């Protein structure tokens, strides 16, 4: 109970502007340095950013590779079964028209 009263009173005093509460808010709110905001040094933050960029580039390259492989497979299947090249939307439109929808 004493702890609750102490925190309640200290919060009210900070809200009134006594006790340096407003100065602390300015310091906390003014943290424009992203490294400090994440609790890292500038060097650690720069290394982290480089690592994130490299990982993103690897994911993008893998995605492009899979996309190209799928396109190649679709082309082979179209050629093998003599299927016309059609867009996804026209397929759904034809399916919905044949159902009467």
Q: What is the pLDDT along the chain (101 residues), one digit of tens a residue?
A: 666 667 767 776 777 765 554 454 445 544 578 878 888 899 999 999 999 999 999 999 999 999 999 999 999 999 999 998 876 666 566 666 666 55
What is the per-residue pLDDT for 30?
47
Q: Is the dihedral of CA 37, 38, 44, 46 positive or negative?
A: negative
Quote the CA–CA distance of 62 and 73 in Å, as a whole number: 17
Query: Domain segments of the chain: what residues?
Result: 1-98
Residue 71: both structure tokens together: 């396109």
Residue with tokens 């397929």: 91
In order of 24, 27, 40, 54, the CA distances from 35 in angstroms are 19, 15, 5, 19
Could you tell me the pTM of the whole model? 0.51
């Amino acid at each position: 109970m004493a702890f609750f009263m102490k925190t309640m009173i200290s919060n009210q005093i900070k809200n009134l502007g006594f006790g340096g509460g407003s100065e602390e808010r300015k310091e906390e709110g003014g943290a424009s340095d992203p490294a400090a905001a994440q609790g890292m040094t500038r060097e650690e933050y720069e290394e982290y950013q480089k690592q994130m960029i490299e990982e993103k580039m690897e994911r993008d390259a893998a995605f492009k590779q899979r996309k190209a492989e799928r396109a190649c497979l679709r082309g082979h299947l179209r050629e093998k079964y003599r299927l016309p090249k059609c867009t996804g939307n026209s397929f759904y439109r034809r399916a919905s028209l044949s159902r009467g929808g």
